[in-house]
Amino acid sequence: MLRHTLGLAVCLLVLGSACSDTGGPGVQPDIVDVIAAGDQHTCALQRGVATYCWGRNAGGEVGDSTVLPRLRPVRVHTAVSFDTILAGYGSACGLTAVGDAYCWGSNGGGKLGDSSFNDHSTPVAVRGGLTFSQFNLAFDYSCAVTRSHVAYCWGDNNFGQLGDSTRNGSLSPRRVVGGLMFDNVRASNFHACGIATGGAAYCWGSNNNGALGDGTLVDKLAPNPVAGGHTFLAVAAGAFHTCGIAIDGTTYCWGDNRYGELGDGTTTQRLTPIGVGGVPPFVGIYAAGPSTCGLTALGFAWCWGDYFSATPKAIPQPAPFTSISAGFQHFCGVTTNHAAYCWGVNSYGELGDGTTTFSVVPVRVVF
């Protein structure tokens, strides 16, 4: 009763109206600034107000101090104000405006970075004293880039996905070897890829599907250059594939292609980058599972792969998106008027519309 009373008091103070932990008109945020799709859950952020999550909650990834599934957004129990959020496999993390990282949910491999293997149903601080500009959660490990462009990874390392030249796991951030400075790093199932300062792409970890793009099927324990000599502006790591946007506007993909996630109209595996045809230039590329979406400068999304097709198609939209986030089998976007929409698999309510109904078109998240 005390916690419920305090929660109502906080809602009255912050939002100016009563709200509850289970959704409803009282918790409707005025705007959504950031959305993050995980494997079977999703989180959204209104800066300066609150962080919300919904969907499967087996490891506490909804962050509401429970392990109960939520079909609609509930408030993450924390006093920390986040500037951005991200979601991964059964977990989520937030970065503050100064780059401090907090994570919650499943802690397989120690990926939450609190020097333990314990799950957490509310945010805990990532240890190590580092401040980050970019953060990425993968299966049982995490990678992040500091404000000085140094990449660190931690958690499981059975395929070399920490990029430290070993297969030894780590409960604390471990620097990626090679002396490279990275603008960003993206990590998924068992591999990670990053864009080094200057635009060259490097990948490391599992390569049994060719996701490292170096023309082989050999795992790499340290950053290894992607073949082709392309200069990239963005990169996205899917379950067993990778895609990137080159400086000339061409989108390339490589790796596993059994669901058409490479967008070349086939289901043929590619060990080096192949161009995605029939699409406009993208400013953003997004992948986490066996599908991919690209976002144009005008805010229109094209998707391909699992639940779409092997040929990229524009998806119906209620309005242009300013950003997209990729989950394992669902995607979410924020429109120009700061509304949140999701589409794809909805088995655990990860679309946030109060149902478990699959939708190939974006549906409005119901706060």
Structure confidence by residue, pLDDT tens digits, 253-286 = 999 999 999 999 999 999 999 999 999 999 999 9
Please give the Cα distance from 87 to 82 (Å, whole number): 13
Structure confidence at residue 24 as a pLDDT band (50, 70, 90): very low
CATH of 34-364, one of 2.170.130.10, 2.60.40.1240, 2.130.10.30, 3.90.190.20: 2.130.10.30
Q: What is the pTM of this model?
A: 0.92
Mean pLDDT of 318-335: 97
Q: Tell me the residue ranges of DSSP E strands in 65-167.
A: 70-75, 84-87, 91-95, 101-105, 120-125, 132-137, 141-146, 151-155
Question: What percent of the chain clears pLDDT 90, i.e. is strictly above it?
Answer: 92
Instruction: Look at residue 10 and tell me whether its pLDDT is greater than 50.
Output: no
Per-residue model confidence (pLDDT) at position 25: 40
Segments making up each domain of the chain, as ranges: 34-364
Structure confidence by residue, pLDDT tens digits, 55-81 = 999 999 999 999 999 999 999 999 999
Per-residue model confidence (pLDDT) at position 8: 31
Mean pLDDT of 317-329: 97
Please give the Cα distance from 82 to 131 (Å, whole number): 13
Determine the length of the chain: 367
Please give the Cα distance from 110 to 249 (Å, whole number): 38
Question: What percent of the chain clears pLDDT 70, i.e. is strictly above it?
Answer: 92
> What is the overall mean pLDDT for the chain?
92
Structure confidence at residue 29 as a pLDDT band (50, 70, 90): low
